[in-house]
Structure 1
Amino acid sequence: MTITASSPLTRKLSTFVALSDAELAVLERLHQRRRSFAAGRDIVHQGQSDQAAYILSAGWVCSYKIQPDGTRQIVDFQIPGDFLGLRSVLLRTSDHSFEPIVNIQAAEVLAGDLLEAFAKMPRLATAILWAASRDEAMVVEHLVGLGRRDADTRLAHFLLELGARLALVGLGNKAGYDCPLTQYHLADALGLSAVHVNRVLRQLRENGLLTFRDGRVSYDDHDRLMEFAEFDSLYLDQSGPLLK
């Protein structure tokens, strides 16, 4: 078995399609340019052109946009198994930046290699399109959260979503998950202040729903937390392979 056969990306794509040996071999080739990146140094800059994409294999990354006044809006967090900068391979410039939150490992994927893989393996291309569509669905859900959920349910929903995403690649379960995010990261992602995030986390803990301490999110009552956040994971499309 190759390393890629049990990689986070393979686990993720296997939710959509049962990958063949030939498709796994193509994924293995896409992982050939393995690189390490230090925390805090952008992999891709907003406005950068001629950029490769990356497959994140270990660590966490945030994608963000800088506003004209210098403030930062975090668009999302990337976890193992996610693509970084997939749109910047197909578009002329990257519309946002990617910054490692911790030291990470990622495979660099050149545009030509990705397009060749798509041409040779259309089912694999469809699976990657599914992953990109799923990412878009999460952005839509985040917009709903910013516009319609109060701070308590917004944060609870977001932490449940992260947990579901991590469970898909074997990095989380109904007990919880390791999480390197700070309250400042959560604030920038959820349109709150760090003080407000701290207050909400304290309320969730005191209500026996969730504890976020020492880099670990622990579900104190997963079912009740799901009910509180009105969390329906249908938009994450993790029910099982659609293509055999």
Structure 2
Amino acid sequence: MENTPLARKLGAFVALSGTELAVLETLHKRRRTFVAGRDLFHQGQSGQAAYVLASGWAVSYKILQDGQRQIVDFQIPGDFLGLRSVLLHMSDHSIEPITDIEVTEVLATDLLDVFARTPRLATAVLWAASRDEAMVVEHLVNIGRRNAAERTAHFLLELGARLSLVGMGSKAGFACPLTQYLLGDALGLSSVHVNRVLRKLREKEMVTFRNGFVAFDSHNRLTEFAEFDPTYLDQVGPLLM
């Protein structure tokens, strides 16, 4: 259990004991798989469960009245899917698998039981939710105040840091199934503009996104270019022993 993405993610905040890991394991009782392109749940849907993403990638998004889509974020292994929707009893967004995914279904009663048995796990989940909120704030800054190249670089650095936390990335790079269309919807850019920006960053020998892999040609230079400060991700090691 120590090596599951969720345990690795929560373990960055709380040094999980054997007992807490065993309790966390109880959230993984109901495993399900979903194919790419078919929504787990829809905006406005009520009564659905939450999920923990075990493998694969998903995207959360909102559809506007004119049919346009705004991507809120991408979900990677270790992330909760629809946690807020369970607590609020209605989903304010949709979630779609980008790749085939495996998840574990989590009911509100499951969470309440875990929180009652191990309050430190409740603290860790609160940290994870707060971290997700901090990322949404940073995405607003990204779209509102950074130019296209800066916001693309910042977003790729953030993805790399998130994946590194769960053992799926490093400062060298990470496997990435995102298309330029998906990146465009997340960054407020057209796919053509994304293509130009990626070419510019590649020509400056900072990052190369090719054949499903993001390679940081110079992680330090890209970080400086994007003014990327990972403090908001709070990946500093366990704070609660």
| TM-score, normalisation: structure 2 | 0.99
Give the Cα–Cα distance (whole angstroms) in 2 for the partners of residues 170 and 44 of structure 1.
28
Q: 2:231 matched to 1:237?
A: no
Q: 2:129 matched to 1:99?
A: no
* Post-superposition CA distance 1:87-117 (Å, at most 9, x none): 0110020000000000001000011111111
Give the length in aligned residue pairs. 241
Q: 2:141 matched to 1:144?
A: yes
- Which residue of the partner structure matches residue 126 of structure 2? 129
Matched position secondary structure for 2:134: helix
RMSD: 0.6
Q: 2:207 matched to 1:210?
A: yes
Runs of 5+ consecutive residues of structure 1 not aligned to the other structure? none
Question: Out of 150, 159, 163, which is 1:162 matched to?
Answer: 159
* Post-superposition CA distance 1:23-48 (Å, at most 9, x none): 11111110110111100000111111
- Which residue of the partner structure matches residue 188 of structure 1? 185
What displacement does 1:19 show? Answer: 0.6
What displacement does 1:52 show? Answer: 0.6
Structure 2 matches for 1:18-29, cutoff 5 A? 18-29=15-26
What's the % identity of the aligned pairs? 72
Matched position secondary structure for 1:73: strand
| TM-score, normalisation: structure 1 | 0.98
Question: Out of 50, 56, 61, which is 1:59 matched to?
Answer: 56
Runs of 4+ in 1 over 2 A off after TM superposition: none
- The amino acid of 2:38's aligned partner reads R
- Which residue of the partner structure matches residue 109 of structure 1? 106
Q: 2:111 matched to 1:119?
A: no
- Which residue of the partner structure matches residue 171 of structure 1? 168
Matched position secondary structure for 1:64: strand
- The amino acid of 2:182's aligned partner reads H
What displacement does 1:70 show? Answer: 0.6
- The amino acid of 2:66's aligned partner reads D
What displacement does 1:5 show? Answer: 2.0
* Post-superposition CA distance 1:120-150 (Å, at most 9, x none): 1110000000000000000000000111000
